[in-house]
Amino acid sequence: PLVLHVLGARPNFVKAAPVVRALGELGVRQGIVHTGQHYDALMSDVFFADLGLPEPVANLGVGSGTHAKQTAALLVGLEEIVLGQDPGLVVVYGDVNSTLAAILVCAKLGVRTAHVEAGLRSFDRGMPEEVNRIVTDSLSDLLFATSPDALSHLAAEGVPAAKVHLVGNPMIDSLFSALPSLDPAPVVARLGLPDRYAVATLHRPANVDTPEAARELVSSVLEVARQIPVVVPIHPRGRTRLAEAGLVDGPSVRVVDPLGYVDFLSLVRGAALVVTDSGGVQEETTMLGVPCLTVRPNTERPITITHGTNRLVTPALLPAAAEKALADGASTPSGELPPLWDGAAGPRIARVISAWLKGDNLSP
């Protein structure tokens, strides 16, 4: 049987690469469908190159739009491709609109599915991702969890435990693979940064979609920049609004294009501080031991707070929190990293999938 991976957005590529590699090593027949949700070279191609992902068998080119328009285009495109490819299993990743659309299409066609990064919950349905997570988990046949809290969320939602596997975090597998190539020096030199700097990534709709939110956030980031130079690889979603709110390239705030995976992680590795609203970056800073301030009211990744370097902050509290983090450095409250974030999540997922394909899954 064919395993089809449906990928659409930047974080999907990072999560899928170790799974694709490990399934390949087990000789499983597989292909990637790129939905085209992210399409700029710096949001897509660079990840295929940096992560060694094989060429997609198809690119649906759905592009951007409102949630309804984008999801509708995804549904139509994915239905056709799933019917044409006739996969034995479709694997979806994370919580983006491509994930949601693929799971809906497969559920209606009776095609079996696996969800990588199941069970994360922010309990904030104002986030589009939270809606995508709940629907995706409720319809998946195999659920791969990255952290123990996910197991209790899924149990509470009535997902049978037999479908759920705690396997660790494939995004951390990718980080481990990249580790030997991570060198801040060339990126720092190219961007003209001093040795001591902070990195910020900001793209959550709640932070960048309204002028009011953007203004509040930008004024806080500019205050941080009075303490330490800040480099902002800008996600296309917030580019215009954050610029209108005053986030412009200058000596203390460097606003640059999105960075490739190896360049970005190199920069993070050398940073004194990271400010973010990204999901994945909360996890990567935890593993790299870099202090992370997450500008959000909640996180679906609380393990990065209990076992990592992450703190939640409001925009108003960001400058003071940055001052404290810069003074204290990184600290991990439990002194232990999250369980199974060991670089072997991909092989664990591949073993479960491979056994499942051979029919070892037929218990209730």
Determine whether 203 is an active site residue.
yes
168 contributes a contact to ligand UDP by CB under 6 A = no
Query: Is residue 183 helix, strand or coil?
Result: coil
237 contributes a contact to ligand UD1 by CB under 6 A = yes
> What residue number has its CB nearest to ligand UDP?
278
The two most distant CA atoms of the chain are separated, in Å, by 61
- Return contacts of 107-114, CB within 8 angstroms, 24+ apart: 107/139, 108/79, 109/79, 109/82, 109/83, 111/82, 111/87, 112/88, 112/141, 112/142, 113/89, 113/139, 113/140, 113/141, 113/142, 114/89, 114/90, 114/140, 114/141, 114/142, 114/143, 114/144, 114/349, 114/353
Residue 283, by phi and psi: left (phi above 0), alpha (psi -120 to 50) or beta? alpha
97 contributes a contact to ligand UD1 by CB under 6 A = yes
Residue 264 site contact among ligand UD1, ligand UDP, none (CB < 5 to 8 Å, cut-off depends on kind) = ligand UDP
Tell me the β-bridge partners of 231: 199, 254
28 or 304, CB closer to ligand UDP?
A: 304
What six digits make up the tokens of 279? Answer: 């999901």
Residue 261 site contact among ligand UD1, ligand UDP, none (CB < 5 to 8 Å, cut-off depends on kind) = ligand UDP
Subset of residues 334 to 363 that bind ligand UDP, contact rule: CB under 6 A = none
Whether the CB-CB separation of 112 and 91 falls below 8 Å is answered with no
168 or 233, CB closer to ligand UDP?
A: 233
Q: Which stretch binds ligand UD1 (CB under 6 A): 34-42, 162-170, 224-232, 337-345?
A: 34-42
37 or 113, CB closer to ligand UD1?
A: 37
39 contributes a contact to ligand UD1 by CB under 6 A = yes
Residue 40 site contact among ligand UDP, ligand UD1, none (CB < 5 to 8 Å, cut-off depends on kind) = ligand UD1
38 or 269, CB closer to ligand UD1?
A: 38
What six digits make up the tokens of 31? Answer: 């292909």
Q: Please, what is the minimum distance in Å from the beta carbon of residue 282 to ligand UDP?
A: 8
Total binding residues toward ligand UDP, as defined by CB under 6 A: 15
28 or 292, CB closer to ligand UDP?
A: 292
Which residues, at least 6 apart from 250, have a Cβ–Cβ distance to it below 8 Å?
A: none
Binds ligand UD1 by CB under 6 A, chosen from 3, 4, 6, 9 = 9
Binding site for ligand UD1 (CB under 6 A): 9-11, 37-40, 43, 64, 70, 95-97, 128-129, 203, 235-237
Q: Active-site residues: which are they?
A: 203
